[in-house]
Structure formats: structure tokens, C-alpha cells
Amino acid sequence: MNKFLFNLIFLFLFISCSGDTILEDDKQLNLNQLKSIDNVFEAGLKLMAMPNGLHELELIDSKQKTLVISVHGNNSRGYEWIYPLQVINSETNLITFFRWDDNSCVNPSINILNELIQEKLKENKNIQNVILFGHSYGGLLVASFMEEWTGELPIEIHTIAAPLKGLGSLSLICNYKTPVQVPKKSSLFEWRTIKKLDGAFQNLNYDPQNVEIIGSKVTRLPDTYNNNKLGHNWSISWVADNLNKGIQR
């Protein structure tokens, strides 16, 4: 198999349609409901069944100073977010989940997210910080979003197990380019898995997480988490645990 064909097949698998069904009853899903579901996989499916958009997972109140936005990867089943969303929650954070069309290039969703965040900031004047977590393909979205942000507030970006180098044909099909430098009003934290333990990357002949972005802070995750192999999906939980104190501003 030639290299171009391999990249094209991998791209198709990476951004293949997840076939999610939108359930009307899940439009008002919140953190307490997710926590009450014993089966984490069932909770994840409910999370992913929400329609595209920026969803608040808790009520807005005056104590919330930080808008936290979580952005899923391609073909996500949602379960990898259930625990981390609970961990990063605090009375000063407004936890939200961005459901987007991960069967397409990131650019259209970047524009949508930019507009939705502006709307949220107009609704809640108490917000002073914006933090975005992007996992896997969602990491490409938030890293690219960093360069397109038009708001006044500074933004903090966290990419987790994200192939910021691109995936072969992705650069051609979607005109994706790795960010060169972190903008002045932004900060970027890259959380990289160990390639050989990451099921999404281990069969590639290069590590798509390895990029040079001026001003970025890079952390390579360990090989285990709670006595389990720290692979692609566990990475979000590890980051949430290790950032918990910092997120609670």
C-alpha cells in the first residue's frame, strides 16, 4: 500500500461519521444527570446524542468566572468525558460541551464556536476567562480556533492526544496548517500521549503530536494512569486530575 493511500484511508477512519442519533430528551442534559447514570458508556452516548452546538451542563450563576469548553474528537462515544467533566467542575466554572460535526473539516465549526462563545459572554458578564479542552481531532479544532479568536478575553487552550502535525491528506483536503506561534492573548498547553500506547497513533510511522509551536507548553503523559495503560481516551482523565487545582480559580 503506498503512503498516500494509507494516509487517505487513515483520514477516512479518523473523521468517519459516528452515526449518532439526536434524542430530543437529551437537549437539556446536565452534569448531575450524567453522574447519576451508573453505566459510563450509556452516559457517554447521551452526551454525544445532543444536537450540534455549545451546551451548558449546569445552571448559570454569578459565582462562575471561567467558561470551560470541552470539545470531543472524531467518532467519540462520549464516555471518555464523563469523569473529566465532573473533575474540572467547581462553583467558579461554567462547564459546557461543544457538540460539532466531526465528520467534516474543522474550519466551519471554528466559526460557529467563535459566535457561540461571544453569545455566552454577552449572557454572562461575570465570565473573566475562557478555557478550551480539545481531545484528539477536537484538539485540531481548538488549536486552530486559537488563531481565529476575535473576543476581548484571553483564552487558554489545552490539546489532549491531538495530531497537531496533521494526518497526511488532511492538510490537503481540509487545508489544515499547524499553528506557528501562540497569539499574544492566548496560551497553549499540549498534552501528548506516548505514541506506542496510543491506539489512534501507534501504527503510524511518525508521531502526529510532535510539532513546534512557538510559545506552547508541552507535557508528555506517563505510560500508566490508575494502574491502567494510559492510552488515547484515558488521557483526558489524567489531564483533568492534574489540572484540577489550577482550574479552580
In Å, how far from its chain's centre is CA 23? 22
Report the alpha-carbon distance of residue 54 to residue 87 in Å, rounded: 19
* Helix intervals (H) in 124-159: 137-148
Backbone angles phi, psi at 28, to 5 degrees: -110, 30
Q: Residues 202-211: contacts with CB within 8 Å, 24+ apart?
A: 204/10, 206/165, 207/165, 208/163, 208/164, 208/165, 208/166, 208/167, 209/161, 209/162, 209/163, 209/164, 209/165, 210/165, 211/164, 211/165, 211/178
**Cell numbers linked to 71:** 470539545
Backbone angles phi, psi at 193, to 5 degrees: -80, 170
- Residues in contact with 212: Cβ distance below 8 Å, sequence separation at least 6, in sequence order: none
- Report the residue count for the chain: 249
User: Exposure string (b/e) for 32-71, b if CB count within 10 Å is 16 or more?
Assistant: eebeeeeebeebbbbbbbbeeebbbbbeeeeebbbbbbbb
pLDDT tens digits for 199-210?
999 999 999 999
Write down the residue that cell numbers 507535557 correspond to: 219
Cβ proximity of 31 and 2 under 8 Å: no
Cβ proximity of 125 and 148 under 8 Å: no
Q: Output the CATH code of domain 3-247.
A: 3.40.50.1820
Per-domain residue ranges for the chain?
A: 3-247
Cβ proximity of 101 and 42 under 8 Å: no
pLDDT tens, residue order, the chain (249 aa): 444 444 444 444 444 433 333 333 445 799 999 999 999 999 999 999 999 999 999 999 999 999 999 999 999 999 999 999 999 999 999 999 999 999 899 999 999 999 999 999 998 999 999 999 999 999 999 999 999 998 899 999 999 999 999 877 777 888 888 999 999 989 999 999 999 999 999 999 999 999 999 999 999 999 999 999 999 999 999 999 999 866 654
Report the alpha-carbon distance of residue 19 to residue 173 in Å, rounded: 22
Quote the pTM value: 0.87
